[in-house]
Structure 1
Amino acid sequence: MWEEFENALSWYAAAPNRWVQSAKQDMTAAAEWVWVVLQGDFADDQSTAQVVTGTVISMIPLVDQLCDIRDVVANCRKINQDTSNKLAWLALALTLIGLFPCLGSLAKGCLKIPFNYGRKYAFKGAAKTLDSSLWKNTAPFVESSIVKLNQHLAHPAVRKTLAVLKIDNVWKYLARKVRDVKGLVSTSRLMSVFDDLADALASLCDLIQKWGSAALQSKAADLLRSVKAVRDQANKSLSEVVKPLQDWLDKLARRLEVEADMNYRAYTNAHTPHRFTPTTLEAEIASIKADLPSWVKASTKAPKKALQDAPSIPHGYPNISKTSPRDMLRGKFNTFHTIEPREFPPGTTLYRVLDPNSADNSICWMTKEEFELLKSKSDWRERFAVWMNWNRNGEYVTYTVPPGKPLRTWEGEAASQELKDSAGRAVKDADGKSIWAVGGGKQLVLDPADLDKAYLGKRRPTGWGYGDAGEHIDLVGVPTLTNNWNPRNQ
């Protein structure tokens, strides 16, 4: 029993030294450990990796219950700050419906992601009332959750579970589960789940009362009183969120069905059983606005301002001016913050980071030294100012300059790139600042017509995965490192 207990709790915090040194007999240390677990903040600021990994880990039964108790404790704390805040009660309801038995472990792990993001809106939003604009207001958070849910579904453990359960279209499966939950939502059902978790919390607090210090016992008693205070008001307050919650779940189910249509369309002349689908601009904007990643910066001006004028073009160098005869090179000087011509002698190896849809022979490259400076996908996106809807990463290819003449390129710091919507309007954060992919890495721009296919290396994995920035995820249906030389770029 202790081994199972320790394995579960180690997901949250390392065991106190006293617990290990006492051969796991120091009950005071164990009580402190339980208390640390219960204090875990609500998952507002989890990284993508924590969200994805957490939902997989939560499929382990004992850890699963601890996750649930932590969430309810956090919800109760929020409610006790302002019991009139309807959105805080909605957040509690979203926690409780994720525990309905009809979901099962797989659907529960998956749907916790959109439910968590719905709670993010409830916890972070300035509004405290529920109205007809609830779905519209939560839409950016829902879209962000769809990105994370795609990553979760790509996890090997989840893929194996889907295979065992013979679920071919997981999005339609989840949509059905959401509608099942909607049909069960009622005040009595929510109260029943709440009471079950409150009882489980009371059992844990009994252990703290038995083993813990006097100070810890007092804290545990205060925690139980705070949960009881919410319980005393819950019947009335939860009844007021049932209808808005049902409407929200109905729209979520429809959004999952739309995702099913997008992910399971048929493609003719396909080389793989599934099609690699890049992030859409709309999904990226929603994701970034809901949770600003580390590799972007909100600022009133560009961190690395783009060049306004093209440099003079020496003979034999790619024409990157506004009047270039090559469409793919025209005006590309403005992707630089600084720029100078540079030629590479035969035998030099250059690197290009790409996704399965990218052409091997395109204009953007980097030196080996620059490539080796990159330690993560976030590094790459930040230094080379690459939005997710442009390039999902996952792979790289090398090119070795062949014997004979040198390869002439342009080299310089990458300029910052402003996030813009499909109409070309700058996307702003809550403070009205523009959102920038920073730049500053030394990029190369060359003319693909100067490349020789015979000297192109095989595609290799970056090790950073195909998912969102900073993730290491195996994606279902991605081509297996297949070179993609585009003759039209020659």
Structure 2
Amino acid sequence: MWEELENALAWYAAAPSRWVQSSRQELAAAAEWIWVVIQGDFAEDQSAAQIATGTVISMVPFVDQLCDIRDVVANCKKISEDDDNALHWFALAITLVGLVPVLGSLAKGCLKILLNGARKAVVTHTVKALNGSVWLATRPFVEASIVKLNQHLASPPVRKTLAALKIDNVYKHLATKTRELKAAASANALVKAFDSVIGPLKQLAELMDRWGSAAMKTQVGQLLAKVQVVRDKAHRKLGEVVQPLQDMLERIARRLDVEADMTYRASTNAHNPHAYRRPGLEAEIAALRADPPSWVKVRRRAPKKAKKTCPAIPEGYPDITDISASRPLRKSFRTFHILEPAEIPPGTVLYRVIDPNSADNSICWMRKEEFDLLKSKTDWRDRFAVWANWNGNGEVVTYTVPPGKPLKVWEGETASQVLKDRAGNPVKADDKGNYFWTAGGGKQIVLDPANLDTAHLGRRQPTNWGYSNFGGEHVDLVGVPTLTNNWHKGK
């Protein structure tokens, strides 16, 4: 049992060096390790949440329990600071409702991702009061979690589980389970879920008492006392937040209904929950407002301004003007900060980063030396100013300039790009006049797809950056519709 617990602890924090150096014999170090893990803040990292609550949990016993313990402990610590704050109790209710035993392991793992998002809206003080505005404040966080849920559902263990359970539309299944959870959500059910965590917490406390120092025993005792005080008040206080909790669960169920409908229409006359779909504009906006990744810059102005006027077009070069007859090339000079006409010699290999739905023969490429500088999708999105709803990434295709004449292109520094809504207006990042920007700065090539020859196109290869967009998780290629060339006719 100890080896399994040790493996579970390793998901959350590295073992103390004293534990390793003592050949796993210094029990005081083990006690400190347990203490650090259960004192961790909410497990908001979705990659950890997926591992800890997904269908692979059986591989590492106790990981799921530790996730539940640390989240409940974090809730109790917040309540101890102000036990009359209804929002603290609401956050605890969101944590506990995911432990109510009406869900199978698949639904539990999936819904915890969404509930983590909803709880984050509360603990970050985005939700101001338990009134009609709860869902309005929570929705951007849930939308961001929908994106991460899609990544989770793309993983091979989950796909295998869906096949074994014969679940054709997983979103419809989750919507049904969410409504079952709503019906089961009551003060009694939440308190029982609380008790299911207190038992394992006390067992860990006994280990820390037995192995830890006198100071640690005092700290553990104080923690248990805080948890017990919260437990003593739980039935009454949780009863006061059950209604907004049920309302939120119904809203989540409706959102899953929409996702189920979108999935059904994704493939003609067939349910296709595993078809690749890059995130939509609205999902990306919601995700950025909830938790912008490192490649997104929140600022007033562009880090690298786009060209406002198009240079003269030399004979034989792609028409990148505002009135170009080629739709893909039209206005493409605005994607540059600096540009110049260039000739690419025969034999040169060009690279294009794409997702499974992207065309091989489109306008944006780069040289090999530029591609070799990219170590992650974060590098690519940052340097080449690519929004997730434009291109989901995950694959790369090459094109070798054929013998004969050089390929005439435009080459230069990529301009920053502001995220725009469907009306073409920049999306506000906050109320301070800031917008969402990608930085740019990579050296891009824009060419005319009509000048490409399919005979010189390479086979698609994985970038090994995964297919995710916001959480940074790696999605295995097994079963994902990847590495199939996609040459669009007429381009």
Match of 1:445 in 2: 446
How far apart in 1 are the matches of 2:128 and 2:307? Answer: 46
Match of 2:463 in 1: 462
How far apart in 1 are the matches of 2:201 and 2:436? Answer: 43
Percent identical residues: 62
Match of 2:53 in 1: 55
**CA offsets 1:125-162 (integer angstroms, 9 cap, x no match):** 25442001211221111111111101111111111222
Match of 2:403 in 1: 403
Alignment-mate amino acid for residue 222 of structure 2: D
Please show how residues 69-468 of structure 1 align to structure 2 within 5 Å: 69-265=69-265, 267-268=267-268, 275-430=275-430, 431-468=432-469
8 Å contact 2:52–2:63 — kept in the other structure? no
Alignment-mate amino acid for residue 49 of structure 1: S
How far apart in 1 are the matches of 2:50 and 2:433? Answer: 30
How far apart in 1 are the matches of 2:273 and 2:425? Answer: 37
- Secondary structure of the residue that 1:342 maps to in structure 2? strand
8 Å contact 1:273–1:477 — kept in the other structure? no
Alignment-mate amino acid for residue 55 of structure 1: T
8 Å contact 2:50–2:109 — kept in the other structure? no
- Secondary structure of the residue that 1:289 maps to in structure 2? helix
Alpha-carbon distance change, 113 to 305 in structure 1, aligned in 2, over 3 angstroms = same
- Secondary structure of the residue that 2:147 maps to in structure 1? helix
- Secondary structure of the residue that 2:389 maps to in structure 1? coil
Alpha-carbon distance change, 267 to 167 in structure 1, aligned in 2, over 3 angstroms = closer
8 Å contact 2:354–2:396 — kept in the other structure? yes
Structure 1 residue 262: deviation in Å?
Answer: 0.9
8 Å contact 1:276–1:477 — kept in the other structure? no
Determine if the alignment matches structure 1 residue 487 to structure 2 residue 489: yes
Alpha-carbon distance change, 309 to 174 in structure 1, aligned in 2, over 3 angstroms = same
8 Å contact 1:275–1:477 — kept in the other structure? no
Moved more, 353-362 or 280-289: 353-362
TM-score by length of 2: 0.94
Alpha-carbon distance change, 274 to 219 in structure 1, aligned in 2, over 3 angstroms = closer
Alpha-carbon distance change, 389 to 349 in structure 1, aligned in 2, over 3 angstroms = same
Structure 1 residue 24: deviation in Å?
Answer: 2.8
Alpha-carbon distance change, 62 to 404 in structure 1, aligned in 2, over 3 angstroms = same
TM-score by length of 1: 0.94
Aligned residues, how many? 486
Alpha-carbon distance change, 54 to 370 in structure 1, aligned in 2, over 3 angstroms = farther
Alignment-mate amino acid for residue 483 of structure 1: N
How far apart in 2 are the matches of 1:411 and 1:341? Answer: 6
How far apart in 2 are the matches of 1:93 and 1:399? Answer: 55
Structure 1 residue 477: deviation in Å?
Answer: 6.2
How far apart in 2 are the matches of 1:69 and 1:274? Answer: 32
8 Å contact 1:467–1:475 — kept in the other structure? no
Alpha-carbon distance change, 288 to 127 in structure 1, aligned in 2, over 3 angstroms = closer
Structure 1 residue 266: deviation in Å?
Answer: 6.4
How far apart in 2 are the matches of 1:313 and 1:332? Answer: 13
How far apart in 1 are the matches of 2:149 and 2:274? Answer: 17
Structure 1 residue 5: deviation in Å?
Answer: 1.9
Moved more, 120-129 or 168-177: 120-129
- Secondary structure of the residue that 1:339 maps to in structure 2? strand
In structure 2, list runs of 5 or more residues that go unmatched.
none
How far apart in 2 are the matches of 1:252 and 1:191? Answer: 22
Structure 1 residue 319: deviation in Å?
Answer: 1.7
Alpha-carbon distance change, 21 to 324 in structure 1, aligned in 2, over 3 angstroms = closer
- Secondary structure of the residue that 1:277 maps to in structure 2? coil
Please show how residues 20-35 of structure 1 align to structure 2 within 5 Å: 20-35=20-35
In structure 1, list runs of 5 or more residues that go unmatched.
none
8 Å contact 2:410–2:445 — kept in the other structure? yes
How far apart in 2 are the matches of 1:378 and 1:332? Answer: 23
Structure 1 residue 274: deviation in Å?
Answer: 5.9
Structure 1 residue 81: deviation in Å?
Answer: 2.3
How far apart in 2 are the matches of 1:38 and 1:106? Answer: 24
Structure 1 residue 30: deviation in Å?
Answer: 1.6
How far apart in 2 are the matches of 1:157 and 1:276? Answer: 17
Structure 1 residue 58: deviation in Å?
Answer: 4.5
8 Å contact 1:320–1:329 — kept in the other structure? yes
**CA offsets 1:297-321 (integer angstroms, 9 cap, x no match):** 0011001110111112222211212
- Secondary structure of the residue that 1:83 maps to in structure 2? coil
Alignment-mate amino acid for residue 446 of structure 2: V
**CA offsets 1:359-415 (integer angstroms, 9 cap, x no match):** 111111000011111111111111111111111112111111111110111111111
Moved more, 90-99 or 226-235: 226-235
8 Å contact 1:310–1:321 — kept in the other structure? yes
